[in-house]
Structure 1
Amino acid sequence: MKKIVVIGEILVEIMADSIGEGFREPMALTGPFPSGAPAIYIDQVARTGQPCAILSTVGDDDFGRLNLDRLRADGVDVSAVGIDPDRPTGSAFVRYRADGSRDFIFNIRHSACGVLPDSAAAKKVLDGSDHLHIMGSSLSSPKLVDLNLRAARAIKARGGTLSFDPNLRKEILSAPGMRAAMSEILGLTDLFLPSGGELVLLTDAKETRAAVAELLDHGVTAVVHKLGAVGVHYHDASGDVFVPAFAVEEVDPTGAGDCFGGAFTALWLRGTDTREALTLAAAAGALAVTRRGPMEGASTLDTLRAFVAGKAKETT
């Protein structure tokens, strides 16, 4: 099977136990949980049985060891994860508000994951990979943008493929050189995985159908438009497929989109029937929100199939 690689942050997530506004008073917290969007994504890839790796840097501390132990146990190649003796592992403190929105305190750019991984180890992993997944949230510095672009060009030049989850805010695109970098990444993309309004963020079009047509005309093979609790709409040259989201009791929404993306990318690379791949990926996203902790709901294919079968029985 093809090997998937992702470049980006590994961090821990620490969650407030009470609903409220911010972190301006002492409160009970639960964690640390292994986290970071690329780490969640690649852990779900590994749980499907797909060969995979992550390039990142962690601190020489228990937060880093917690993450590496989890990723290794689930089957992720972490040989290209550097260990920085001077910077701590990245962190995210999260508190939910009454309306379901969240307050975050991040330590990413100035933590170990802001440092590029060791070049020799990274080159070895990248040379052995067939597919690169790029996440907009990981393009936090010019050096990380450059590393992702160089990896994308190299993998595409030898016949590999690229998936791209933009996960971008409009203001990020105003950073010097960012829009040009995003345009180049999109021009190399085979599988595009935008959420909501991100579909039109990097196109000239302002509505869904025109944006999809523009993306396919520019060389994207498949567009997977994630619509949260509504479901997912898939588009390629042969037509469209819609799969509704599964109804579950939500405990923690963090990581749902990353688990969906990891499951779908692995199945897409295997040539799985589109509707089946979308359904199993939707199951991965649904199960992700039923557990507290961003990576705790990542599931094996057997678990996903059993979940889908159980939901089918409920409707018959």
Structure 2
Amino acid sequence: MFDIATSGELLAEFMAEARGQRFDASGCFSGPFPSGAPAIFASQAARMGARVAYAGRVGRDGFGDLVVERLRGDGIDVKAVQRDPERPTGTAFVSYQENGSRQFIFNLAHSASGQQTLNEGELEHLSACQYFHVMGSSLASPGAIEILLRLVERVKERGGRISFDPNVRLELVSNPGVREALVTVLARCDLFLPSDADLDWLAEQGENADATVARLLSEYPMSLVVLKRAAAGCRAYTGEEVIEVPGLSVAEVDPTGAGDCFGGALVAALVAKRPLPVALRLANAAGAHAVTVLGPMEGCSNLTTLERRLAAAGETL
């Protein structure tokens, strides 16, 4: 049995070297970097010692080789990562603006990633896990939604748990069926990992974050909500107590993937039976470390690195 399994987009990412780089003008881009939100999550969890399995699809091209070799090199089971003989590996181009925001151009829907399928053998292979992780960015098309919901149901049938990072994007939510899929996964998850923006999307009129979480815990069977607050750290809600853990101060180089690393470290720590306060500190350290390195998966870290970063901040496990 795997500790953690996940499924979703796999892509090669290119990052603009200059701030404010426009996509309608020539410029220099660094890359390719292996990427994909669930892949970053999986890499972080695997580097901390968790047994991780992945399902996705890439092309039979150099970018696909890059992504698969990174997953395999991190010790991730790639038996369910398919190679498409006709479609290229998905790509993303990212430009950072002067105000810190990001602009993207994605090629996923018409790439190998958009053609992912799931047969019964792959379904059985992936569902033998303690945690199945769903990333909201992966709920991008009817086909992807069908795959993820099948996996969620099979994992629940086998007694596994669902972790869910909604990663709500307004441009994604407008697609047919996406809003409904987000709510469906929300109703099935055990561990919910929203950001402040995600809670804003779920809030009812007049609710603050605490009130929104209290309502979600009462309406759905989730047992733990961890609010990701970027540099401010995190806040965990168990229904019985609230645990606040401050963030670590670091020099930011690239924020891409920080939330994914936070989630991967948290679930890996929980699988390893670490106490919740310890798991939260490790997750904070993983998110903080991720932003200090250029590249979406380049900031994934092992346990030794996280312990050193916590020690440097005066924290011990």
- TM-score of the pair, normalised by structure 2: 0.94
CA displacement, residues 153-196 of structure 1 (integer Å, 9 cap, x when unaligned): 11111211000000113453343333332222111110000011
Aligned counterpart, 2:211:
210
- The code of the aligned residue for 1:269 comes to V
Shift, 1:69, TM fit: 0.7
Instruction: Tell me how far apart the structure 1 counterparts of residues 261 and 123 of structure 2 sit (CA, whole Å).
Output: 26
Equivalents in 1 of 2:31, 2:178: separation in Å?
Answer: 34
Unaligned runs of 5+ in 2: none
Once the two structures are superposed, residues 223-257 of structure 1 have per-residue CA deviations (whole angstroms, 9 ceiling, x without a partner) of 00011111111101220111111111111110100
Deviations 1:31-80 (A, max 9, x none): 10111101111000100110111110000001010011111011111110
Larger mean CA deviation between 108-117 and 45-54 belongs to 108-117
Checking the alignment, whether the CA contact within 8 Å between 1:203 and 1:215 is kept in structure 2 is no
- Counterpart mapping for 1:86-235 below 5 A: 86-170=86-170, 172-202=172-202, 204=204, 206-217=207-218, 218-235=220-237
Corresponding position: 1:289 with 2:294: no
User: Aligned partners of 1:166 and 1:27: how far apart in 2?
Assistant: 33
| C-alpha distance in 1 between matches for 2:250 and 2:237 | 26
Do the aligned partners of residues 121 and 59 (structure 1) sit closer, same or farther apart at CA in structure 2, a change above 3 Å counting? Answer: farther
In structure 2, the partner of 1:310 is 312
Q: Cα deviations across residues 255-283 of structure 1 (Å, max 9, x unaligned)?
A: 10000000001112333111111111111
Q: Deviations over 1:84-140 (max 9, x none)?
A: 011110111111111111121111111111112452552242242232100110011
Amino acid at match of 1:210: A
AA aligned opposite 1:128:
A
Give % identity.
Answer: 47
Q: Is the 8 A contact 1:21 1:103 kept in 2?
A: no
Secondary structure at 2:123 match in 1: helix
Using the alignment, how far apart are the partners of 1:146 and 1:37 within structure 2? 18
Contact 1:193 1:261 in 2 (8 A): yes
Moved over 6 A (4+): none
Deviation at 1:2, TM superposition (A): 4.9
Q: TM-score, normalised by structure 1?
A: 0.94
Say if 2:8 is the partner of 1:8. Answer: yes
Query: Structure 2: how far apart are the matches of 1:24 and 1:177?
Result: 32
